[in-house]
Amino acid sequence: MDYMRIMFGVVMLHVHGASASVYISTTSRGYTSTETGSPYFECYRSSPSLTAAVSNGRYVYLYNDRLPPVNAANADPPPSVAFDAGNPPTQSYRKNLETNDHMSYGAFYCAASLDGERSVVPTLFLRSDARFVPTSGRFSKTVNKGDVNVTVDFTEITPSVILMNWRFNGTTDMTETISVGTIFTELTVYTIIGEVDTSHGGVYELHLESERGLARAGLLRLIVRACPAGRYDESSGCTQICPSCYNGGICHDQTGICICPPGFQGDGCEMACGRNRYGRNCEYRCDYELSDDSTACSGLQVCVPDPYGCSCTPGYKGLNCTTECDQGEFGASCTETCHCVSGECDRFTGVCTGSSTKCEPGWTGTNCQECMVGRYGPKCERKYNCNITGIQILHASAFKITQINIHTMLKKE
């Protein structure tokens, strides 16, 4: 079950119990330059959760060194502005953040509640002069229960000899900070020694000693699935095997549903939305004035329910989501690899382009992300010798066979 505390407008959620059936996404712009321009985030519901009640606000308090005891930097954001978006048109909500007194810096969220279930989707905002940024170029990182020596990695923009302080997770008291004490000092990489579990999931903050009041810390949210890799259903001891989730999708640790990256849909995230599209059912546009222009989604970050977290939309990468994928890359934050004879593919969909539209040997599917029947392995390079009858492979991916009906011995090559 979800574990939540609600005080002073802040929601704390142990995300490994988050609902996969109530769907809401949080989009943001201006999230890497919160002190300038017009930073904002928006909340979008998707079918079948279109009637869900929506709420939003601060996820955790990160800063309290200004104007005590009434802390302007931790004040609730202004009221939401409702508008219609999507196909069919659905009421959505925008939070325009105020840039004075660091009020647009920190962790915010959109939440949806329906039939007793609740889903909370956080997003993070940094200043343009932040001392530290996530090394991965993303504001969230997903790992699995049992993973060993998991790291939280930041890059220091301008090296300094000043002591660094790490803090973890939040508080629901607006007069306190995200973790009153430090959990670690020095270094820009924090290693969780041994096996990780859900207690390690949350918001990590790294700042220079005595500079916390400048709101120039680095922020990253660690998401820990409640089951080991490839498994789901915590209530049964994680005995169920995850289905294949393509194009960067991640198996929900409780239900086994694939949580798709922005820009992909389908039970296995196998269908691409294309340019200027995102949403659980590809029903929303990044920019309604640019049709299907390839630049429409530049600068947009989209966060979806855990355990996926946040990323750019397909075709873009980097913390501010304005860098186009390199050749051979595609997908949300450009994390996926093209498997095309030409070595080229559409950066939004992964469909092969260039001199040949054929998949590399061993690969198949609309965008060459599935192993051909009889093959398996990270590169679909290994074969099953099916020289005897009675073998029915129903769904094969690059890493596993998710359902096999075996009547006779299966011999691996």
For residues 196-215, give the mean pLDDT.
90
Which residue do the tokens 């997770």 mark? 169
pTM of the model as a whole: 0.87
Q: Distance between CA 270 and CA 400 in Å, rounded?
A: 16
Residues 91 and 25 placed together within one structural domain of the fold:
yes
Residues 152 and 267 placed together within one structural domain of the fold:
no
Are 159 and 108 in contact by the 8 Å Cβ rule? The answer is no
DSSP assignment, residue 166? E
The distance of Cα 210 from the centroid of its chain, to the nearest Å, equals: 31
Per-residue pLDDT reduced to its tens digit, 255-274:
999 999 999 999 999 999 99
Are 203 and 169 in contact by the 8 Å Cβ rule? The answer is yes
Q: Which domain holds residue 17?
A: 4-225
Structure tokens at 176: 């306190």
Are 250 and 242 in contact by the 8 Å Cβ rule? The answer is no
3-state secondary structure at position 144: strand
Residue 313: the pLDDT is: 97
Name the domain boundary from 208, 225, 242: 225
Residue 171: the pLDDT is: 52
Residues 90 and 208 placed together within one structural domain of the fold:
yes
Structure tokens at 100: 């004075």
CATH code: domain of residue 151: 2.60.40.10
Residues 146 and 212 placed together within one structural domain of the fold:
yes
Name the domain boundary from 203, 225, 247: 225
pLDDT over 90 at 4, yes or no:
no
CATH code: domain of residue 312: 2.170.300.10
Are 300 and 314 in contact by the 8 Å Cβ rule? The answer is no
Residue 397: the pLDDT is: 44
Number of domains composing the chain: 3
Bridging pattern class, strands 240-241 and 202-208:
unpaired
Residues 84 and 115 placed together within one structural domain of the fold:
yes
Q: What is the mean pLDDT of the chain?
A: 85
More confident residue, 88 or 70: 88
Q: How many CB atoms lie within 10 A of CB 231?
A: 22
Residues 221 and 261 placed together within one structural domain of the fold:
no
Per-residue pLDDT reduced to its tens digit, 128-147:
999 999 999 999 999 999 99
Residue 2: the pLDDT is: 32
Quickly state the pLDDT bin for 65 (edges 50, 70, 90).
low
- Residue-wise DSSP of 323-368: EEPPTTEESBTT-EE--BTTS-B-TTT--B-TT--PBPTTEESTTS
Quickly state the pLDDT bin for 44 (edges 50, 70, 90).
very high
Residues 122 and 41 placed together within one structural domain of the fold:
yes
Residues 65 and 205 placed together within one structural domain of the fold:
yes
Which residue do the tokens 């355990």 mark? 307
Quickly state the pLDDT bin for 71 (edges 50, 70, 90).
low
For residues 73-90, give the mean pLDDT.
90
Residues 64 and 197 placed together within one structural domain of the fold:
yes
Q: Distance between CA 310 and CA 6 in Å, rounded?
A: 23
3-state secondary structure at position 73: helix
Query: Residue 153, CB half-sphere, CA atoms under 13 Å: how many?
Result: 9
The distance of Cα 251 from the centroid of its chain, to the nearest Å, equals: 12
For residues 68-85, give the mean pLDDT.
81
Residues 64 and 200 placed together within one structural domain of the fold:
yes
Q: Distance between CA 213 and CA 359 in Å, rounded?
A: 53
Residues 18 and 162 placed together within one structural domain of the fold:
yes
Q: Distance between CA 172 and CA 185 in Å, rounded?
A: 24
Are 311 and 262 in contact by the 8 Å Cβ rule? The answer is yes
Name the domain boundary from 202, 225, 248: 225
Residues 100 and 190 placed together within one structural domain of the fold:
yes
